[in-house]
Amino acid sequence: MSRKSQLWLVLVASSISVGSAAAFTESFLGKSIDSMLPDATKVTSFSRPGTITILSTNKKVIQKLGPTTREKVEQGSIPLLVRQAFIAAEDRRFLDHNGVDLWGIARAVVSNIRQGAVMEGGSTITQQLARMVFLSQDRTLTRKFKEAALAFKLERQLSKEKILEQYLNYVYLGSGAYGIADAAWVYFTKTPKELSLDEAALIAGLPPAPSIYSPLVNPQFALKRRSAVLTKMHREGFISAEELSSGINSPLNLKPATPKFFNSAAPFFTSLVAKQLPRLLKPEQLEIGGLTVRTSLNLNWQKKAQQVIRAHSPGDTEGAIVSIDPKTGLIRVLVGGKNFEENQFNRATQALRSPGSTFKLFPYSAALNQGTQPEDIFVDNPRCWDGYCPKNFGDKYMGKVSLSDAFTNSLNTVAVQLVEKVGFQEVISTANKLGIGNSRQLGKYYPLAIGAYEQTVLEMTAAYAGVANRGIYMKPTPFEEVLGPNNVILWSKKVDGEKGQLALGKDVADTMNWMLQKVVKSGTGKAASIKGWSIAGKTGTSEGGRDLWFIGSIPQLTTGVWFGYDNNTETKSGSGEAAWAWKQFMLQIKEDFESLKFPERPSTKTRHDITIEKPLQP
């Protein structure tokens, strides 16, 4: 072999060795750096801090809270026009670089020096995505290095299509719009596919300064920025000269809309969810974002309940409806007023109202628990207890009457006699076990018997649900499950929720339900009766008709209805209005249930103990 050939062989071998070493070093360093960086595929499940999605029972979105993308573009469905607009505006070499565009950086530096100000940035779309998902917005050299390293990793792990798709779903575009789908809706009430050239260019011009370029804030700035984007699109060959001219001369045909899911589809309910969620999670879990709250709300029933309140409230009274699953305590419906936009006061959870005769559930249950029977005879006549002289509705009295008939006709004097018979503590204890009087103490006064102590519609409905559940009280809750990022279960009612509490024995509860059914069949609750359905319920009217109540159950659902004025003015109406509204609601949803019967009342030996009549006191 000649000396020249040997020299070439050495050079080739050396080149191969050096090249291999360089490749090995680059690979080693790349892998070492990669191991210190987060997994780039996490961009597909990215959520900003503080974001919460609230779902109904059928997984329909009720509301999205926080700085979240409310609607995403599905994979592979980004319109070509939108792609071209953003590439021209933000990163014209997007399809050619590997995450960082050195030519773009140099061009931006030269441009900024010429103009004497920072007018152009050098960050690629990939770098912007890395910054949005993994980094802060700090303008530091360290952050820039991390951003570049992450951009390289994103390009190695994801396709260009995936990177652009995720960027367009997350980029902030002003006026509360996160992502192209939100922006198309907020500015033009359109989907991305429906955007015209000038509309796509306007939105593509927003990322550098969304608050300044927003057409809803600065229309002239937005038009100027749109023209710049259209010019870049023509320069890149995406549009013709005719399209450029037409786009620049197009007017701002804005059609603004509220971001989807920004407003709640059930605002009274979601206000309760927002209030109670911090009780389930730690502060850091709430802050991390990406939470999904699976609630108990039946959105279809909720809408029907809202309509019933608006259509059937007597006069111009306000109203509330709450429905609870007796077996679980899950809140299926919660309407706290006629119009949340006009008045956010939640009359289902915040308003303390006199429950009237619906409170009689507790002295009657306490009496049954101590052995009193529905057939036992009491005397209904005008009487006083320590100066308290209750009157029946219409000032009518029935004389000797059975306990069940007294309940059916809602006789006030008999309810007070029961408090005297069993004692205040027994009645209060019964109410406490059914969720009443625990946060606001009940006093040992005779007016207690007929609802002198104010309660909320939610609390009273939950108490009746406990009776419908054969004496097992379930604390009401709007939560079924709370999921964190990547669908990790943070809280589950089945595992973490409160268990049921025995409030009444089955026999007592079954007897109480039997008496409640008589109220609907032949008593004050007849307006709620539905042919072929077993309904157990009770009316309630506070003094002067200021509060109108009906709380009724079928075995699978308990619903409470209330009407009244916020200022406690007399309604000049009766509780039959609430019973009628209850019926109108149930008629609309009864197809979702099987017509079941309550358990039979347990057989007992008939007794006829007559309460000794006391003389009328002054």
Residue pair 523/410 in contact (Cβ under 8 Å)? The answer is yes
| Whether residue 341 lies in the annotated active site | no
Q: In Å, how far are 89, 110, 218 from 117, measured between CA atoms?
A: 19, 11, 21
Q: 3-state class of 238 per DSSP?
A: coil
The alpha carbon dihedral of 367, 370, 376, 377 has a sign of negative
Of 434, 438, 454, 455, the closest CA to residue 508 belongs to: 434
Residue pair 345/450 in contact (Cβ under 8 Å)? The answer is no
**198/229 Cα distance (integer angstroms):** 9
**420/336 Cα distance (integer angstroms):** 36
From the candidates 175, 227, 357, 365, which is the catalytic residue?
Answer: 357
Six token digits for residue 258: 């509220």
What angle, 0 to 180 degrees and rounded to 10, lies between the N-to-C axes of helices 160-170 and 180-188?
40
Six token digits for residue 574: 């009766």
| Whether residue 194 lies in the annotated active site | no
CA atoms within 13 A on the CB side of 271: 17
Residue pair 386/618 in contact (Cβ under 8 Å)? The answer is no
Residue pair 454/350 in contact (Cβ under 8 Å)? The answer is no
CB contact set of 364 (below 8 Å; sequence gap of 6+): 403, 407, 415, 418, 512, 515
Residue ranges of the alpha helices (H) in 295-354? 299-312
Phi, psi (rounded to 5 degrees) for 318: -90, 170
- What is the radius of gyration, based on Cα positions, of the chain? 35
Residue pair 268/78 in contact (Cβ under 8 Å)? The answer is no
Amino acid letter, residue 365: S
Cα of first residue to Cα of last residue in the chain, in angstroms, is 136
Amino acid letter, residue 235: R
From the candidates 90, 318, 426, 577, which is the catalytic residue?
Answer: 90
Q: In Å, how far are 23, 121, 299 from 108, measured between CA atoms?
A: 31, 6, 52
Residue 487: DSSP 8-state: G
Q: 3-state class of 258 per DSSP?
A: coil
Residue 446: DSSP 8-state: G
Residue 313: DSSP 8-state: S
Q: Which residues are part of the catalytic machinery?
A: 90, 357
